[in-house]
């Protein structure tokens, strides 16, 4: 992934814990037709490699997943959906020589690779594109081949650190594109589940790309009971209703909260809720009020108050976000 820097934008390693290693650390120098070049780092559910098609010299990001882990997740789902069955023609096989390139609506359902099943339905300029799914039948590996984005994460936010921020105009530019991506996901009844600066890439052309669908959830298949006990994501970005006792029906307000935390980080350069103890962090979020900005910006503060409303019923909706004065401002 190309690194580029200037006085306006500050970029960081494109994937968490990124540490370049040569292909010799991988089990094989090739995955399908793609040559593994080096590690990019780790997503929420697997390692990510930089790879190249030797014929075209095009570069791709390849995410490596564990089939045994996928099958364990599938068995957990079966406990909640004992009657769900895949039609024989739709049942994916991990014993094929290689899977065919992913096509729209050729979905693996939730009994196989949830991340692949959801990603191959998505076609949006602000969401990273899934190119192909590859199965290696002799090993416990499954690969997602994705487009390579020239750029890096918008911010590598870490607990108890303050880093360089974006000005109001650039926060708005990033946030608008992120809202467009999330609004599209919600129109497809999909929750991203892990919106944060590290999962937002920005290209040379200043185009946002939302990545890492390892925590994504389809609202068409997930019940509230499954959702409550199995939700994954980054604790500092979790909505307070996820951390309270009792059932919570999954809805789009969860991603709205994460949008608010992300916007705060871009503008302020630090996390609004922090604690060295995870239980104390959860308590801070559960009893939270919208954080105050250190930089005077009444319109942005009003937007954050709506995004980070502790009551999900009163939290801003997508139409309300897009009609907010700060969002609509020209500069």
Q: Tell me, what DSSP letter sits at residue 4?
A: -
Query: How crowded is residue 91: how many other Cβ atoms within 10 Å of its Cβ?
Result: 12
* C-alpha 138, offset from chain centre: 29
Is 47 in a helix, a strand, or coil? strand
Asked if 213 contacts 115 with a C-beta cutoff of 8 angstroms, the reply is yes
Closest CA to 179 of 169, 189, 192, 168: 192
Is 298 in a helix, a strand, or coil? helix
Task: Give strand pairing partners of 190.
Answer: 218
**Active-site residue identified among 110, 156, 194, 251:** 194
SS3 content of the chain, % helix, strand, coil (to 5): 30, 15, 50
* 168 is an active site residue: no
Which of the residues are catalytic?
Answer: 194
């Amino acid at each position: 992934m190309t690194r580029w820097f200037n006085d306006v934008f500050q970029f960081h390693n494109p994937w968490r814990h990124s540490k370049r290693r040569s292909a010799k650390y991988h089990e094989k120098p090739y995955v399908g037709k793609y040559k593994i070049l080096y590690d990019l780092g780790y997503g929420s559910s697997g390692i990510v490699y930089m790879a190249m098609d030797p014929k075209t010299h095009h570069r791709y990001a390849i995410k490596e997943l564990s089939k045994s882990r996928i099958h364990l997740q599938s068995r957990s789902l079966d406990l909640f959906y004992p009657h769900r069955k895949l039609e024989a023609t739709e049942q994916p096989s991990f014993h094929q020589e290689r899977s065919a390139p992913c096509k729209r609506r050729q979905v693996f359902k939730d009994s196989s690779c949830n991340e692949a099943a959801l990603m191959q339905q998505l076609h949006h300029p602000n969401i990273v594109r899934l190119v192909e799914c590859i199965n290696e039948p002799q090993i416990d590996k499954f690969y997602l081949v994705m487009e390579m984005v020239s750029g890096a994460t918008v911010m590598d936010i870490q607990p108890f650190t303050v880093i360089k921020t974006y000005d109001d105009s650039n926060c708005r530019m990033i946030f608008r594109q992120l809202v467009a991506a999330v609004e599209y996901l919600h129109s497809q009844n999909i929750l991203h589940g892990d919106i944060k600066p590290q999962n937002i890439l920005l290209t040379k052309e200043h185009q946002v790309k939302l990545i890492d669908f390892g925590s994504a959830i389809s609202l068409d298949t997930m019940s509230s009971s499954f959702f409550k006990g199995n939700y994954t994501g980054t604790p500092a970005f979790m909505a307070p209703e996820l951390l309270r006792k009792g059932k919570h029906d999954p809805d789009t307000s969860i991603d709205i909260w994460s949008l608010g935390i992300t916007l705060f980080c871009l503008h302020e350069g630090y996390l609004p809720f922090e604690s060295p103890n995870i239980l104390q962090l959860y308590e801070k979020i559960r009893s939270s009020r919208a954080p105050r900005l250190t930089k005077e910006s009444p319109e942005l503060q009003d937007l954050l108050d709506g995004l980070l409303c502790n009551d999900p019923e009163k939290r801003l909706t997508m139409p309300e976000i897009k009609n907010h004065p700060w969002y609509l401002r020209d500069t």
